[in-house]
Chain A
Amino acid sequence: MAFEIRKIREDFPTLARQVRPGVPLVYLDSTATSHKPEAVLAAMDGYYRHSNANIHRGVHTLAEEATALYEQAREGIARFINAPAARQVIYTRNTTESINLVAYTWARANLKSGDVVIATEMEHHSNLVPWHMLAAERGVRLEFIPVTGDGLLDLEAYQKLLQLGPKLVTFTHMSNVLGTINPAREIIRLAHEAGAVTLVDGAQSVPHFPVDVQDLDVDFMAFSAHKMVGPTGIGVLYGKQALLEAMPPFLGGGDMIKTVHLHSFTPNTIPYKFEAGTPAIAEAVGFGAACEYLSGVGMDAIAAYEHAITEYALERLEEIPGLRLFGPSADKKGGVAAFTLDGIHPHDVAQILDQDGVAVRAGHHCAQPLHEKFSIPATSRASFYLYSTTEEVDRLVEGIYKVKKYFA
């Protein structure tokens, strides 16, 4: 199907709004969170209006419907990432919780003092702090694949680190600051050769290009609905079946048990073993609708469209005197452009752009170590998605010239 940007934009009600009277929104912050199409909003609304009930043990009609919707969504998400089975898709709150689930269950059952965990210098705090906490508790040793000056992982250094015999290799599939798309298949293959388990932070990759967990051969993959046109409050941990089955449960409570006695319990089978308590049912339904929407447009088409926008944006931004871009060239990155302007703080850049309706993010984007690496406290970041346009890039560029004028 041809990529009809006008039609796609019509699917997203927020994009039609004005920030102030006469100032239309230019939303360039999809890396933080994406907007939601009517199809997702309608699915969630329909669930609450028509089928609202608690899932699983109920036998009445509404409970059956709610359970079916919740599980159909899981199947849809599984198809979206080509998981072998829906039971390997565990609902969580978000990517952060998915990573923590691995850290609290698999890692605490399998890692001991002195064991090596390899991460990268471009991780989001969500894939750093859980391992810091584990290191403090268990004496696990953290090693980091360095980031090169042009924003790529130093794979030679990685090969050397693998000689330490790591138990876990964890990395972001796509950097939320540099936009770098890491060679996940290669990193995972090498990790497996060294005997390590792999965990991929897919928060930025799954929304933006086709991700096939079987092709990657990844052991664990974490991602969030809200960055892929779905609602906040729900994410997924995908895992290989044997690993998930061997892991102890995460949170205790209802639904995660098979039997409970006063002094003992037996855990449920996967995925329920990891889903204690009433989950975010409407959000799961919305997540399923989001996957369906993205598949309908086509992930290959989305990736190609975003690539074109990113190429255009980098070209336009590079023309601006005093603007420094971070990350690799367009062929090695997704739709993210992080930059600094000489002598102007990113907060001021973002604030002045907002006056013209241009929404970008300013700060360290939860990747403080990466900013330290480049010796900058913060960057401004524009990011693109399937609904972004070249006209919006032009508005951004005009806005940046205005910022420069203010501080001239």
Chain B
Amino acid sequence: MDDLYREVIIEHYKNPSYRGKLDPHDIFFADNNPLCGDHIEITLQVGADGAVSDARFDGHGCAISQASADLLMEHIIGKPLEEVKQLNKQDVLDLLGIDLGPVRLKCALLSLKVLKAGVYGLGEAGDDLVE
């Protein structure tokens, strides 16, 4: 547990730096984890250089899902969209600094799924986006 609920995760859950909505924004996407009702929505602003100039997430859910969303927003600001498209499961786990079982993995990856569906301009966020 000391691993799973590392200080950093509790901290990002309780005091997120990137919670909110950007208005105006260039990219918006929202989705749920049907398993537990976790909800994540993201708004991005993209600069003329094709890089993420600002990013926010909003929603509700467990510490893992909300902390990973906050860490992910922090991680992508300044990165070109092409690079954001390449992010995968391991990147999120590295950000969290933990290993997760199959059930909690869905919580951790919800924000990446939502982010990639938004960046790719897809109609829905499929699990294949984060494999």
Q: Residues on A close to B: CB < 8 A?
A: 345-348, 351-352, 355, 362-364, 368, 371, 377-378, 406-407
Contacts and interface: CB of A to CB of B under 8 A. Distances in A.
B107 A377 contact: no
Given A345-B62, A345-B63, A347-B64, A363 B5 contact: no
A371 B36 contact: no
B118 to A, nearest CB: 22
Contact of A378 (B1, B37, B104): B37
A351 B38 CA distance: 15
Interface of B: 1, 4-5, 10, 14, 35-39, 60-64, 104, 107
Contacts of B35: 363
A407 B39 CA distance: 20
A348 B62 contact: yes
Contacts of A368: 37
A351 B36 contact: no
Contacts of B62: 345-348, 351
A346 B4 CA distance: 15
A371 B35 CA distance: 13
Q: Chain A contact residues: over half helix, strand or loop, or mixed?
A: helix
B37 A355 contact: no
A346 B33 CA distance: 14
Contacts of A346: 36, 62
Contact of B5 (A352, A371, A377, A378): A352
Given A347-B62, A351-B104, A406-B10, A364 B5 contact: no
A348 B36 CA distance: 11
B107 A407 contact: no
Given A347-B36, A347-B38, A352-B1, 10 more contacts: A345-B36, A345-B61, A345-B63, A348-B63, A363-B36, A371-B37, A377-B39, A377-B60, A377-B61, A407-B10
B10 A355 contact: no
A351 B37 contact: no
Nearest to A362: B36
A351 B64 CA distance: 11
A378 B32 CA distance: 13
Please indicate which of the listed interface residues A345, A352, A371, A377 has the most CB atoms of chain B within 10 Å of its own CB: A345
A377 B1 contact: no
A346 B62 CA distance: 7
A377 B36 contact: yes
A378 B36 contact: yes
A363 B10 contact: no
Contact of B1 (A355, A362, A371, A407): A355
Nearest to A371: B37
A362 B60 CA distance: 15
B14 A407 contact: yes
A345 B5 CA distance: 13
Contacts of B60: 345, 377
A338 to B, nearest CB: 14
Nearest to A347: B62
18 contacts: A345-B36, A345-B60, A345-B62, A347-B61, A347-B62, A347-B104, A348-B63, A351-B1, A351-B62, A351-B104, A352-B5, A363-B35, A363-B36, A363-B37, A364-B36, A368-B37, A378-B37, A406-B10
Contact of A377 (B10, B14, B37): B37
Contacts of A406: 5, 10
A377 B38 CA distance: 8
Nearest to B3: A355
B14 to A, nearest CB: 7
Contacts of B61: 345, 347, 377
A345 B61 CA distance: 6
A87 B61 CA distance: 48
Contacts of B10: 406-407
Contact of A347 (B1, B14, B39, B107): B107
Nearest to B104: A351
Contacts of A352: 1, 5
Given A345-B63, A364-B37, A351 B4 contact: yes
A96 B63 CA distance: 33
A368 to B, nearest CB: 8
A364 B10 CA distance: 23
Nearest to A364: B37
Contacts of A378: 36-37
Contacts of A407: 10, 14, 63
Nearest to A344: B63
A348 B103 CA distance: 12
B38 to A, nearest CB: 7
Contacts of B37: 363-364, 368, 371, 377-378
A378 B64 CA distance: 15
Contacts of B38: 345, 347, 377
